[in-house]
Structure 1
Amino acid sequence: MKILKQQSEWRDFRQSQAQSSVGFVPTMGALHAGHMSLVAQARQSNDVVVVSIYINPTQFDQAADLNNYPQLLEQDLAQLQAAGVDAVLLPTYDWIYPDQYTYQLSEHDLSGRFCGAHRPGHFDGVLTVVMKLLNMVGPKRAYFGEKDYQQLHLIKGMAEAFFLPSEIIGCATMREQDGLAMSSRNLRLTAEQRSTAPLLYQVLSDKSSIAEKIQTLESAGFQVEYIEQLDDRLLAAVQLGEIRLIDNVSIGNSSAKQEKVA
């Protein structure tokens, strides 16, 4: 497994694989089984698998969240090695943002709703860094988790709008045995919060109305940012202490399907 920390190293590697199909999994590290499921899908469908680990500061709206984001590079590299990844890209800020983020990519509809309404500038940072990484890596396929459903929707839209040749593939949310959606931020939950957190998925999945879901979650100690519908999904973001959790479920025949934005 190649570990590439310099732009020149990456260019040499990419040139050596010019005739190969590349599957790409962009991450911010602190890898869990959800990330590894993306890697597994990339491994099945491509000649070469590339993973990036880069904690992107431009998508954080709170400095404390950025400063506290888990960093487990040695553990991450061991997992990727075991999964048969061909190359890990470890870019620096100056490599990703030689312009110091003066050029930014923005979307002016969906990005202002749901998570975007509560995290100003977040999706500008996400779309800008993903565009840069896709241009840099030039993958045939790039893999993103459905847990970040709004993000996935925006990235697919960006790829279509800018005629990017990479296929954007959404992968199913991976969950702990108690239903909690896997997330690197789960590492920051206290033991008490961790025992409470699975209620989010349980409540989203039941047949109650959106108003009833909000009441149940708030009674259990969550601060609900939103529970709203996008396409055939019910999306939610909550705060549990200092930790922000997101999740989404297929609406199916839930009574919530007929409800409007909360």
Structure 2
Amino acid sequence: MADRDAFQQFLLRMGDNTLVLGHRVSEWCGHAPVLEEDIALANTALDLIGQTQMWLGLAAEVQSEGKSADDLAFLRDVWDFRNVLLVEMPNGDFGQTIMRQFLFDAWHSIMLTRLRSSSDARVAAIAEKASKEVTYHLERSGDTVVGLGDGTEESHQRMQAALEYLWPYVGEMFASDAVDAAMASEGIAPDPASMRADYDDLIGRILSAATLTLPDARFARKGGRDGRMHTEHLGHLLTQMQWLPRAYPGASW
């Protein structure tokens, strides 16, 4: 059995990524540029929150303190979240939202594909279910990146600007630490660094079709996963997301 603390941290990372991004995407509900996009973004958010329920539910089970997925989602403070910084970046314009989604979807699809072979049956089952949804997420975000990148002069410029803004946050998804080493040694999850070549190949093909150019600098803004350096954006997001269960603890409806 893997170290329980490391296993829980891994589960929190997976669940916090989908929770924070799901909430970010949900902010478009009723505000998207066209009705079709409004519905598609809402469905993506629902998928991500559904995945959060599974990851945080298992994290609570492993923690064995009588907590639920809701407790972990709504009753932790900002420094306890373990998501990568990319997912908490603001929506910006529609192009920035889609680029953020694409950069995460590409990583997410590779991670879930590998987790389907996890030595932990519960992780493999979650990955099996989630990967079907994320396959669609990646197809849609990738197609939209191509459509906007290779579209009008303005849409191309906006997508290039979005890529340059978000690219510095990509490296963190492949930074490995002691938790990752523990998960890899037990066959539960891959070493994130081992996924980088597949990721670069995947996004390279899509960005080439979109006529977009990767920034030269490849550096990671670290700190999101260990809770030490979240941006101010996450604090504002959690204020929106958590105020109701904190204002009325234990309430049900």
Q: In proportion to residue count, which structure has more helix?
A: 2
TM-score if structure 1 supplies the norm length?
A: 0.28
TM-score if structure 2 supplies the norm length?
A: 0.29
Q: Could you say which structure has the greater relative contact order, defined with CA pairs below 8 angstroms and 6 or more residues apart?
A: 2
Larger Rg: 1
